[in-house]
Amino acid sequence: MKSLAFKPVVTIVGRANVGKSTLFNRLTRSRQALVADFPGLTRDRHYGEGRVGSRPYLIVDTGGFEPVVKDGIVREMARQTEQAIAESDVIIFLVDAREGLNRLDFDIANQLRRSGQPVILAINKAEGMRYGTAGLEFHELGLGEAHIISASHGDGVVDLIEAALACIPEPEVEPEPEFDPEAPEEAGRTHRIKLAIVGRPNVGKSTFINALMGEERVIAFDMPGTTRDAIEIEFDYKGTPYTLIDTAGLRKRGKVFETIEKFSVIKTLQAIEASNVVLLMLDASTEISDQDASIAGFILESGRALVVAINKWDDLDSYKREWAKREYARKLRFLDFAKVSTISALKGQGISHVMRAVKGAHAAAYRRMPTPRLTRIIHDAVEQQQPPRKGIFRPKLRYAHQGGQNPPIVVVHGSGLEAVSDSYKRYLEGRIREAFDLEGTPLRVELKSSRNPYVEDK
């Protein structure tokens, strides 16, 4: 079986104040949507995504690295950096051209050599310096030819990231057959549903998988230094083929630190992006944390179909069950499109309900919406409730068509649509959801105004 297409992971490492965050912002083009600040991880560790040419990648910004320190907050930061190094495909080691070579740079270089990961040396803050002499002293680090850059000005950054990605072979990915939920049963079975199971440690992911598979299965990976430790399991459930993508975190036997044990962000992001449907598991006996909300937000942003399973439901009395429902409705109300199932993975209760919801969410994500029917739905919606005027003009919605699947995208054309409010847009989404039974998938409605040919461009 060919591997799923995970984005390569590039980690920026270096001592404090060498410009790591500036380079991170440059590579992510200052997009902060994917920055993660989960409890249990140091605040200096951030995750984002970038793209060079047609190749996307995940980028990790780490705190100042001092590998020789043995205690205190600096040691906790070093442990976080070591975790980032372990789950990387390639490391950018950033040094400071203006401060020159530092004793700490040698310590970091030695640590990176021991990691066995490819390392690209980048000399930052070289603007205004003679490029021929800026990096001479850094040859002592023994890391090969250095890239001379200025993260703040962008000089040399594209060449740097291209060199980093060149160290990682592009994966051979098996093309996914086009899925048509309206096709005959036999044709529909050729599509293998990729189901990512995500959630905090100890919510019952492994127990759920064992109950689903009908056998005890070791899920946790114990391979320090690898980045592909999300486990893929192929199986059939009631005639439908699935690929499970488990997100067991990186756990070093005998070296499980509390901060590292909390959650492996990279693996979760990769599993979500490689999936068709995401199963978000929550623990009914605990409060919904910021970490749960952050994972849910990324699932929504990625556009993946979603099913929520609240586990350990059998342990709660009626009062606590009501409390758990209110907690979910309050903190995760932005997931109102998702089917919620209460289960006991340990006792095997509710498993079939979850899998029916997964199959339904997958079909909804790939639903075909014919243009004539979409246009009628939009016209009926406008007839029942017109969009509010802006000044003396009222937006006019003329026709709609489907612009994509997984998630479904509906493009509405008309005039003056830039004046349509978010609340009216949500009204249209609700009408489309109801008409096409889109439970379990995000829906994106895009508004496009036609250009008036009689208005001269200014």
Query: By the 8 A CB rule, do 29 and 10 touch?
Result: no
Measured CA to CA, the distance from residue 146 to residue 140 in angstroms comes to: 11
Measured CA to CA, the distance from residue 129 to residue 361 in angstroms comes to: 56
The domain locations on the chain are 9-167, 193-365, 371-449
Measured CA to CA, the distance from residue 406 to residue 417 in angstroms comes to: 25
Predicted local confidence at residue 231, as pLDDT? 64
Residue 385, helix vs strand vs coil:
coil
Block residue for tokens 């994509």: 404
Predicted local confidence at residue 291, as pLDDT? 76
295 membership: H or E segment, kind and range: helix 290-302
The reply to whether CATH 3.50.50.60 applies to domain 9-167 is: no
Dihedral, CA of residue 244, residue 37, residue 99 and residue 52, to nearest 10? 40
| Residue 242 φ/ψ, nearest 5 degrees | -130, 155
Query: By the 8 A CB rule, do 10 and 166 touch?
Result: no
Closest CA to 362 of 177, 180, 209, 231: 180
Measured CA to CA, the distance from residue 12 to residue 7 in angstroms comes to: 16
DSSP letter at 365? H
For domain 371-449, the CATH class is: alpha beta
Predicted local confidence at residue 213, as pLDDT? 79
> What is this structure's pTM?
0.67
Query: By the 8 A CB rule, do 8 and 273 touch?
Result: no
Q: What's the gap between Cα 221 and its chain centre? A: 20
Low-confidence ranges of the chain (pLDDT < 50): 1-3, 31-44, 184-189, 217-229, 249-263, 453-454, 457-458
Predicted local confidence at residue 450, as pLDDT? 75
Binding site, by residue number, is 14-21, 61-65, 124-127, 199-206, 246-250, 311-314
Query: Apex CA 80: angle with CA 79 and CA 81, to 5°?
Result: 90
Query: By the 8 A CB rule, do 5 and 136 touch?
Result: no
Binding site for GTP, by residue number, is 14-21, 61-65, 124-127, 199-206, 246-250, 311-314
Predicted local confidence at residue 36, as pLDDT? 40
**Domains 193-365 and 371-449 equal at CATH topology level:** no
The reply to whether CATH 3.40.50.300 applies to domain 193-365 is: yes
Closest CA to 99 of 35, 174, 19: 19
Measured CA to CA, the distance from residue 86 to residue 229 in angstroms comes to: 11
